[in-house]
Structure 1
Amino acid sequence: MADEITWDDVERFWQGESDALLNISEDDTTPQLYVSSETREVLEALLGEADPQASLTEADDDEILEMAWEERPHAWSVVPFDELVPRWKVLRIDDVDLFDRDLDLTSYPLAVDIVVEGDTDGELASAMAGEGMQLTNRDTDRMTVLIMTGVTALVRATAHEMELNGVLYPAEYIGPTLQSADLLHISNEIPFAENCPPPDRNSGSLVFCSDPRYIELLRHVGADIIELTGNHFQDYGSQATLDTLEMYREEGWPYYGGGADLEDASKAIEVEHNDNTFSFIGCNPVGPEFAWATAERPGSAPCDYEFMHGELNRLSEEVDVPIATWQYWEFYHYEPTPQQQADFRAMVDAGAKIVSGSQAHHPQAIEFYNDSFIHYGLGNLFFDQMWSIGTRQIVVDRHVIYDGRHLSTELLTYMLENFSQPRPTTDAERRQMLSSIFQASGW
């Protein structure tokens, strides 16, 4: 559950002090450090020879992750940046975030310079010009931070608070995090409508619309990709849906999972950033029928699994990170259902590297399946459900892609306040939320 450590604790651990880094294990057990022989040499260059009392195990590169997982949470490791995988949780050191593209590497204690030596200029040039030679294994020009979110529904009490406090009010605390993404995914379930009535925070109606002015909130947080699998996208009729699509086009935001007709709604979109390529495809298996796009009507994409699996198979050969999301059935518990697991895993089997449940009003489990990442439900982002701890809990997934490969995922946690504002969790709230999610994940 630890999110960060101090460099002082690392040094004390290396010197054999048994009370160092206990926050990793959380039960006063000294964690075991697993490293390769090559990494150990680097650490010895930084820290000197390890004390014989240090809890350290040297292992082959391909064994370290499995060994650490077997011993979790009593294990940690040091691995090269470009060898990270999502099953590793990356810890901040002295509050330094390794994925901050503005990071001054001189402030990061595990940044190591490599020296090339040669007798002549020609030898040096030859060594530096070797095939595949990279001067750094952390080049921010090859890194993409993709943030994915859950339900956005700017209606009812959320919209009421926006009218009282300003359209940007929901983003007061979470805005900077969303804005930091290179690519920000927003799943907006609601159409914008010129004839949308003033919001009623106590309305019992489930027919929703948003004032077109509210698009400024999506613009402010830095939306890049819009998911339209939601089951309320046709609530205000086809004209409002088509007008909303035009608003997205004017903003330059590609959309998927919904569209002007069945073909438009079903298509995958492809996005590129820093030479990392992504595809997004989504669908709505739930309905209701009037929400689904047809050959003559706009709406969300009904799930044609044969088509989606075929597209994912094709896209897995064409892009680095194929992504599947959807408006699945909604469950107000952390555990995925057996059918949910089967359906989400089938997307991975077809070629998806990330599968994300955008439907959830309550966070759900995560799973590493066949070298892919599944999040069964993230919970709400901007929606007014304050009636339980689960519906107030919000997870934002920060995925880091490097050189065409999914390197890491961080679960950012928030709590909904005042029916509209996600705020960062306290330490106790984060612990409770992640404990529930991890338990439901079988960990």
Structure 2
Amino acid sequence: MNAAPPKSNSTNSVAELFWVFLRLGLSSFGGPVAHLGYFRAELVTRRGWMTEAAYADLVALCQVLPGPASSQVGMGVGLLRAGGWGLIAAWLGFTLPSGLLMFAFALGLGRLGDLGGAGWLAGLKVAALAVVAQAVSGMARNLTPDAPRLTLAGMVAALILVFPYSWVQPLALLMAGGLGWRWLSAPEPAMSDSLNAPVSRRAGAALLLFTLALLLILPLLAAVSGRADLHLLSVFTRAGALVFGGGHVVLPLLQAGLVPDLLDASTFVAGYGAVQAMPGPLFSFASYLGAAASTGLNPGYGALVATVGIFLPAALLVAGVLPFWSSLRLRPGFQSALAGLNAGVVGLLIAALYTPVFTSAVQSGAGGNTGLALALIAYVALSAWKLPPWAVVLACAGVGALAL
């Protein structure tokens, strides 16, 4: 099975990407780690768009890049299948539902009140626990089949659990890659397992240089012109480019750039609470902030500028680095490092399975043992009954509303 079909820019291919990722954007609850589980179930297991190894390679790449890892994985899949328009279609489909919901919340849907204790939200967290557990078990079988790689996964998981800082995650993955390069032996993969990006190295280098220039020039343009939209774009682009370790890390960066000059603290916190109940990427918080910020801009325009700004570095980086990644991973020496890096991804998922997924869904959630029992049933439904993740999510939400 090919890791990625030949590049196609057909309307049908782009439209298919949009609809597949729109469905994922409507049903992927639980944060970036859970999103990777949903992606794997839909794109690898169900549709066969990528092999397990190719998917793990793409996840590993996006974990060491700054930006929202799950959104970057989706962008990478879109780029591999249908070029630049495929990247845009995958991003737009995955982001549109939560972005529109957060924009609506900024326009007044905050009357719903505090959603933190809602039973249906507790059910969604339980569903995320089952999805991540299934992803961990499936990826572990394929990526940590022997004692050395399982040991690397355990080391990465332990390191992240003991030192729960955002910068530790990419550092731990790089450590796993270095140890793999030194100690592991891995066969060179078939060409069909590679990530053949439809971007040349020259174009990739140009995209990386453009990203750097954008980060340097935008603040100067905003300061010189005094334009509110350029200032907003600068704040969100800088935040999106400096995030390592998941979407939650972007919050202090955004708070520093917006509060109190453009937004009061209570409005900021209210939006943060609401985005926890949304499907799709946490970065859709930008849609709320762009609409709610006191910039003098039309709320719709502000939301658009902020949303594009926070995701733009992620898109440029994944498109710029992917052509080099595809070449590097085919070198025999690099394969050993990649085997270690893939084992590290399993360790990352193991650590995340405990915190924040398990601790949020069971330890701190409503229902106690009831929540854990529901998670076990959901895991069996996914693994043994092969039910689609969206059906399990809806069922858990319904049960949660009644029992949690």
TM-score range, shorter-chain basis?
Answer: under 0.3
TM-score (norm 1): 0.23
Based on CA coordinates, which of the two structures has the bigger radius of gyration? Answer: 1
Q: TM-score when scaled to structure 2? A: 0.25
- Flag the structure with higher helix content: 2
Structure number with the higher strand fraction is: 1
The higher-RCO structure (CA 8 Å, 6+ apart) is 2
